[in-house]
């Protein structure tokens, strides 16, 4: 039906404006779109509009005298979709405008039909002058919220423009080859046979970067667990853990289980406990492990309150892949630009500190704790670890032998886009 794809995209974006996370509801919205071609169109419009949301919203503020964001988030979202098409998609402008106006009609908001038409046509008429104003504004020009821009500039005085550019890009699709089944070279050969263009990742030993994203079910052996999708920076955790078969391993913030699975693909351990506070997400760990034919002790518990689930047996290896701002993975989760607030950073940093402090006594002397975040903010990374070491006399930061990223306090920071990777921070702490 004309307009239905735009209406579906606007519905998705409006949910984010109201505080929902894309991962939670986009699959249901897409499942409701009957044509496969329309599904990818909706996905592109949702992701793209969110990627440029602060820029599009700034533009809307120039085009509308009275904002509709609060009262009518769907119409606001539809204007974002309309402008996104005109600015970034190769859809003929007249078709983009007509379909978007049709979507307003489908939403049964007669007043919005005229408004949508007027806003999009005015944009077309005054495009150059409007974009000049948008580009001159920090939020409009960078497509990042002002509070985040401020922190990025303070934390990365030289690199912030590159971080912003990377956040606005589309990420590559990266695979993790399951070593239990075949070597990376053998799988690369299989991909070549299937005419899927791919290269070995320079830093992730099991990583393969695809030239173009595709449906996972087109990957040879996906259903049998021979390969998974995982960013290359996330794959570095398994190397840094240096976990061996005799070890008792704790993965304290495990869901959805990407790093859990990677570690388990590498070896069988004396014990492997995977904890997460979110029961629904813990189900995802179970599903992922089942596909890979792996198993672990799954525990629904709070990493900051181990008394509730720890049996007193110390761990030789602990992975704390902490809940964080996710400012290193904005390119994969562009809804972060709208969802995250400045005050979240303080509460996340507090939670990370509590988790670290509470788990430290669970580490056996001589053991190794890997602290990881997909954040680029010093508060959650270098500062967090420096404060931890100050609080714990028996903690020493071990050097990280890696060529990627850069030293950052007692750890290493990978910025988004470096060697195609997500932004990640790693620190390795040993207990004496
Ligand atoms: C960055 S994600 C982990 C990603 C996972 N390690 C992977 O590689 O797939 C952080 C996880 O921490 C969990 N989490 C948040 N607060 C927690 C807490 N207090 N205790 C345990 N898990 C927590 C979240 O539910 C989320 O699944």
Of 204, 254, 325, the residue with max ligand 1 atoms within 8 A of its CB, to mutate for a pocket test, comes to: 254
| CATH top-level class of 174-229 | alpha beta
Of 252, 323, 358, 375, the residue with max ligand 1 atoms within 8 A of its CB, to mutate for a pocket test, comes to: 323
Closest CA to 316 of 375, 263, 390: 263
Helix (H) or strand (E) holding 224: none
Tell whether ligand 1 has an atom less than 6 A from the beta carbon of residue 277. Answer: yes
| 374 assigned to active site | yes
Assign 64 to helix, strand or coil: coil
- Whole-number Å distance, alpha carbon 259 to ligand 1 midpoint, is 11
Tell me what pLDDT residue 111 has. 94
Is the pLDDT assigned to residue 402 strictly greater than 90?
A: no
**Contact predicate 178/263, CB 8 Å:** no
pLDDT tens sequence across 161-192: 999 999 999 999 999 999 999 999 999 999 99
Tell whether ligand 1 has an atom less than 6 A from the beta carbon of residue 73. Answer: no
State whether CATH 3.40.50.150 applies to domain 232-431: yes
- Whole-number Å distance, alpha carbon 275 to ligand 1 midpoint, is 8
Domain ranges of the chain: 4-143, 174-229, 232-431
Q: How many CB atoms lie within 10 A of CB 393?
A: 8
DSSP conformation class of 157: T
Tell whether ligand 1 has an atom less than 6 A from the beta carbon of residue 328. Answer: no
Tell whether ligand 1 has an atom less than 6 A from the beta carbon of residue 255. Answer: yes
> 281 falls in which pLDDT band (50, 70, 90)?
very high
Considering the segment(s) 4-143 as one domain, its CATH architecture is Orthogonal Bundle (1.10)
Measured by CA distance, the residue closest to atom 27 of ligand 1 is 255
State both tokens at 430: 């040993």
pLDDT tens sequence across 108-145: 999 999 999 999 999 999 999 999 999 999 999 999 99
Rounded to two decimals, the pTM is 0.97
14-28 average pLDDT score: 95
Q: What beta strand segments (E) does 92-193 contain?
A: 174-177
Ligand 1 atom nearest to 251, measured from its CA = 6
State both tokens at 43: 């996905």
Tell whether ligand 1 has an atom less than 6 A from the beta carbon of residue 302. Answer: yes
In whole angstroms, give the CA distance from residue 52 to residue 219. 30
For residue 166, CA distances in Å to 159, 169, 408 come to: 11, 5, 19
- Whole-number Å distance, alpha carbon 20 to ligand 1 midpoint, is 18
Tell whether ligand 1 has an atom less than 6 A from the beta carbon of residue 253. Answer: yes
Of 277, 284, 309, the residue with max ligand 1 atoms within 8 A of its CB, to mutate for a pocket test, comes to: 277
Measured by CA distance, the residue closest to atom 13 of ligand 1 is 253
Burial 320-334 (b: 16+ CB within 10 A, else e): bbbbbbbbbbbbbbb
Tell me what pLDDT residue 46 has. 98
- Whole-number Å distance, alpha carbon 173 to ligand 1 midpoint, is 22
pLDDT tens sequence across 80-118: 999 999 999 999 999 999 999 999 999 999 999 999 999
């Amino acid at each position: 039906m004309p307009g239905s794809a735009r209406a579906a995209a606007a519905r998705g974006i409006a949910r984010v404006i109201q505080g929902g996370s894309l991962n939670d509801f986009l699959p249901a919205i897409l499942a409701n779109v009957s044509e496969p071609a329309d599904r990818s169109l909706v996905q592109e419009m949702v992701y793209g509009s969110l990627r440029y949301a602060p820029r599009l919203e700034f533009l809307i503020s120039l085009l509308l005298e009275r904002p509709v964001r609060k009262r009518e988030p769907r119409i606001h979202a539809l204007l974002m979709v309309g402008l996104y098409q005109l600015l970034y998609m190769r859809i003929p402008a007249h078709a983009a405008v007509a379909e978007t106006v049709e979507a307003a009609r489908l939403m049964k908001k007669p007043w919005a039909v005229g408004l949508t038409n007027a806003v999009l046509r005015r944009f077309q008429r005054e495009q150059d002058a409007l974009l000049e104003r948008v580009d001159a504004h920090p939020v409009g020009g960078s497509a990042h919220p002002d509070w985040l821009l401020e922190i990025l500039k303070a934390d990365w005085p030289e690199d912030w423009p590159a971080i912003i550019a990377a956040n606005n890009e589309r990420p590559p699709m990266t695979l993790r080859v399951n070593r239990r089944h075949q070597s990376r070279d053998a799988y690369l050969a299989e991909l070549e046979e299937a005419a899927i263009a791919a290269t070995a990742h320079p830093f992730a030993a099991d990583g393969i970067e695809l030239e173009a994203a595709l449906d996972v079910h087109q990957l040879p052996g996906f259903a049998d667990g021979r390969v998974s999708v995982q960013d290359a920076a996330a794959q570095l955790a398994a190397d840094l853990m240096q976990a061996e078969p005799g070890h008792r391993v704790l993965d304290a913030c495990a869901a959805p289980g990407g790093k859990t699975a990677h570690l388990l693909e590498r070896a069988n351990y004396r014990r492997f406990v995977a904890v997460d506070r979110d029961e629904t997400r813990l189900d995802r760990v179970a599903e992922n492990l089942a596909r890979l034919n792996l198993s672990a002790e799954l525990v629904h518990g709070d990493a900051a309150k181990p008394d509730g689930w720890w049996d007193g047996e110390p761990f030789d290896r602990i992975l704390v892949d902490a809940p964080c701002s996710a400012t290193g993975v904005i390119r994969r989760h562009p809804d972060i630009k709208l969802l995250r607030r400045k005050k979240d950073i303080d509460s996340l940093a507090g939670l990370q500190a509590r988790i670290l402090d509470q788990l430290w006594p669970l580490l056996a002397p001589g053991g190794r704790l890997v602290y990881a975040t997909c954040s680029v903010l010093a508060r959650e990374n270098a500062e967090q670890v420096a404060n931890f070491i100050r609080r714990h006399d028996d903690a020493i930061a071990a050097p990280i032998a890696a060529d990627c990223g850069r030293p950052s306090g007692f750890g290493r920071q990978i910025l988004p886009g470096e060697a195609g990777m997500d932004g990640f921070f790693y620190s390795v702490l040993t207990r004496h």
